[in-house]
Each structure stands twice: as C-alpha cells, then as structure tokens.
Amino acid sequence: MKKLVIASNNAGKLREFQQMLAPLGIEVVTQSQLGISEAEEPHITFVENALEKARHASRESGLPALADDSGICVDALKGMPGVISARFSGLPRSDERNNQALLEAMKAHDDRRAHYYCVLVLVNWAGDAQPLIAEGEWHGEIAREARGAGGFGYDPYFWLPELGKMSAELTHEEKHAISHRGKAMKVLLEKLKARGIE
C-alpha cells in the first residue's frame, strides 16, 4: 500500500493521520484534494458511519481508503453527543458552538465523566469484504471552563485527571500516545503488520 485516501475533510483529523502514517511511508491524500464530496453519515453507530465513509472515498478514488468516525460520549447524557459530536449544535459545524451546547446540556449534572471514542475503518477497495477495523477509547471528564490552545473539537473542555491537564494542553506527541485516535491507530498498524504491510 503506497497511497491511500483519507475519508475526511476535518483539518484536525487530517493533521493527526498524516503525522501518524508518515513513518510507514504511505502517501496520504485527502478526499477533498481529489474532489470527492463527504459521504452521508446516516447511521446511529460509529462503525457503520466509518464504513460508509471509507467505501464512498474508495469507490470515488479507486484507492484504498481510511475513514474515522469518532466523538465524545458523556455518561450523564446517555452517551450523547456520540455520533453527532461534530454537528451537536447544528450546521454549519462549529467547535465553539458545540462546546457551548455541551456545557449547557451539562448544567444540571454533577457527574462529569466522559470518553472520546474512535473507530477506524480501512478498505483496500470499495467492496472489500474484510475491512480492517480498529477502535480506541480515551477517558476523562467535562470541565466547566476551557484551557489550552491545542487540539480541536471538545479538547479545551476534556479534563484528564491523571495528568492534571486538558486535552488541549497536550503536545501532538503526548496526545497521539494516549488519545482515542492514537490508540485506534496503534491497533490498526498492528493489523496492517499482520497482513504484511509495514
């Protein structure tokens, strides 16, 4: 595998994927670079949405495709925002509005436990019957005030008690080592190695 398309237009995700895949020597192109529109995400599970996105990007590009579906799941909100994390406050998508909507939804709750969840799906071609699937979770809490200038999405409010930091205060390297996406990518890389792709 010399080249693959990332089935996302999220700048933060693209940056993370490029950094994590660079050591493999795989050329990464984005679906927007190839003029491919975003796929619909009609499903209620992360894995179904990721598979939909990967198949769409592969079908349109003729390349292997890697898709991610991820979000933040809050215990007190019964797993919401979940699969609608990126559009929790409606469209157009806005990290700032999403964070404010989450804080508003959390006002009446003392239980601040939450986790980021990520599922990665890699298909070699659109009709691949054996997609590689990897997942990761990253546990923390929803803070009441923002801190940090890094990351994206809900990172300024994602508190990591064991580190005494927000996700947005971590370096790229620190985040890749412990994040939901970093954990899922490690699993995916192990599965690639098992198939002889290194």
Residues annotated catalytic, as ranges: 69
Q: Which residue shows structure tokens 């370096």? A: 171
In this structure, which long-range contacts are made by residues 161-170, counting pairs with CB atoms below 8 Å and at least 24 apart in sequence?
A: 167/140
Give dist(CA 1, CA 30) in Å, integer: 16
For residue 124, give the nearest of 180, 179, 197 by alpha carbon: 197
Measured CA to CA, the distance from residue 23 to residue 31 in angstroms comes to 21
Q: Which of 33, 37, 20 is nearest to 122 (CA)?
A: 20
- C-alpha closest to that of 180 among 23, 24, 56, 16: 16
3 state SS of 74: strand
Token pair belonging to 108: 């009446």
The DSSP secondary-structure symbol of 154 reads T
Question: Tell me, what amino acid is at 51?
Answer: L
Q: How far is residue 54's CA from residue 60's CA, in Å, rounded to a whole number?
A: 10
C-alpha–C-alpha distance, residues 186 and 192, integer Å = 10
